[in-house]
């Protein structure tokens, strides 16, 4: 099914189950629950059954909860919506499949328990509450801590190596580059300068700046592009500065895909 919310949710869920650290963490949570035996499972089940039960609950409910919650959030919550709205919607999306899985596991491990309407509703309310608390804790506590402790959190974004070749007064966000005899004319938001090097070598020193070579003599930064223009049967990249740069036939398809 080619539905973007589902595709995104599947990718995120698959990433968790491919991460060895995540798998170890889920198994550890399941083992701890199996040893402590919450919700009456300590009295109802022996350790040889109780521990596998809780490990199964941890692995399966995490996956279906992540999948269901992410699908609903991607489908219903706009990107600019408040954070709490995403938390609530994701918890609701997680609670439905989690409840279904817990019902199935309980049927396997507790054959004598028969769930009626009220018991199922009570179980859903419990799963919804747990999902809401868990997702809110991840969003408001764990994520900020991870970001704060990241070594890149306070680091300034690295400048392209190419800027070190320019005079200090010209160094700024890259706009475009053009060949001029044996030189490359480098344009930034603060001016321009000539550098004695090949265009290919200059492009290699843009270091992560999103851009595209549009001609054997021209390269543009994506952030500087306003769009494409057709003049006299030829295609040009229109820059936000008002300049026009020609697009050669060999780069036309890539330019249209990027800027068209």
- Kindly indicate whether the domain formed by 161-259 is annotated with CATH number 3.40.50.300: no
* Model pTM score: 0.46
64 pLDDT higher than 70? yes
Which carries the bigger pLDDT value, residue 17 or residue 120?
A: 120
223 pLDDT higher than 80? yes
| pLDDT tens-digit map of 91-101 | 888 888 888 88
Please state, as a whole number, how many other Cβ atoms lie within 10 Å of the Cβ of residue 80: 5
> What integer is the mean pLDDT of 107-133?
75
Among 136-140, 186-190, 197-201, 204-208, the range scoring the smallest mean pLDDT is: 136-140
CATH 2.40.50.1020 in the chain: give the residue spans: 161-259
| pLDDT tens-digit map of 236-249 | 999 988 889 999 98
- The torsion region of residue 9 among left (phi > 0), alpha (psi -120 to 50) and beta comes to alpha
Tokens encoding 163: 């800027």
Average of per-residue pLDDT values in the chain: 79
Which carries the bigger pLDDT value, residue 112 or residue 80?
A: 112
- Segment of 30-44, 66-80, 168-182 carrying the highest mean pLDDT: 168-182
pLDDT of residue 153: 42
- Segment of 11-20, 102-111, 151-160 carrying the highest mean pLDDT: 102-111
pLDDT of residue 143: 53
> What integer is the mean pLDDT of 2-21?
63
> What integer is the mean pLDDT of 9-13?
62
161 pLDDT higher than 50? yes
> What integer is the mean pLDDT of 167-187?
92
Which carries the bigger pLDDT value, residue 218 or residue 144?
A: 218
Distance (Å) of CA 31 to CA 8, 38, 51, 57: 30, 12, 6, 10
233-240 CB contacts, 8 Å cutoff, 24+ apart:
239/175, 239/176
> Could you give the angle at the alpha carbon of 147 between the alpha carbons of 146 and 152, nearest 5°?
120
């Amino acid at each position: 099914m080619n539905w973007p919310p589902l595709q995104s949710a599947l990718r995120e869920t698959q990433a968790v189950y491919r991460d060895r650290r995540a798998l170890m963490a889920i198994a550890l949570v399941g083992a701890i629950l199996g040893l402590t035996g919450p919700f009456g499972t300590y009295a109802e089940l022996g350790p040889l059954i109780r521990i596998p039960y809780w490990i199964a609950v941890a692995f399966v409910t995490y996956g279906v909860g992540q999948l269901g919650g992410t699908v609903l959030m991607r489908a219903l919550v706009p990107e600019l919506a408040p954070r709490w709205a995403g938390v609530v919607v994701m918890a609701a999306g997680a609670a439905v499949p989690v409840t279904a899985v817990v019902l199935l596991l309980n049927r396997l491990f507790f054959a004598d328990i028969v769930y009626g309407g009220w018991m199922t509703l009570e179980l859903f309310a419990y799963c919804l509450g747990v999902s809401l608390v868990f997702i809110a804790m991840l969003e408001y506590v764990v994520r900020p801590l991870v970001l704060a402790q990241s070594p890149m959190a306070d680091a300034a974004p690295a400048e392209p190596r190419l800027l070190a070749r320019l005079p200090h007064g010209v160094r700024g966000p890259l706009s475009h580059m053009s060949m001029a005899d044996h030189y490359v004319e480098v344009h930034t938001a603060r001016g321009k300068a000539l550098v004695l090097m090949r265009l290919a070598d200059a492009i290699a020193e843009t270091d992560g700046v999103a851009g595209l070579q549009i001609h054997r003599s021209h390269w543009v930064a994506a952030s500087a592009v306003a769009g494409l223009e057709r003049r006299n049967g030829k295609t040009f990249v229109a820059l936000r500065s008002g300049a026009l740069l020609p697009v050669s036939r060999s780069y036309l398809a890539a330019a249209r895909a990027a800027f068209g």
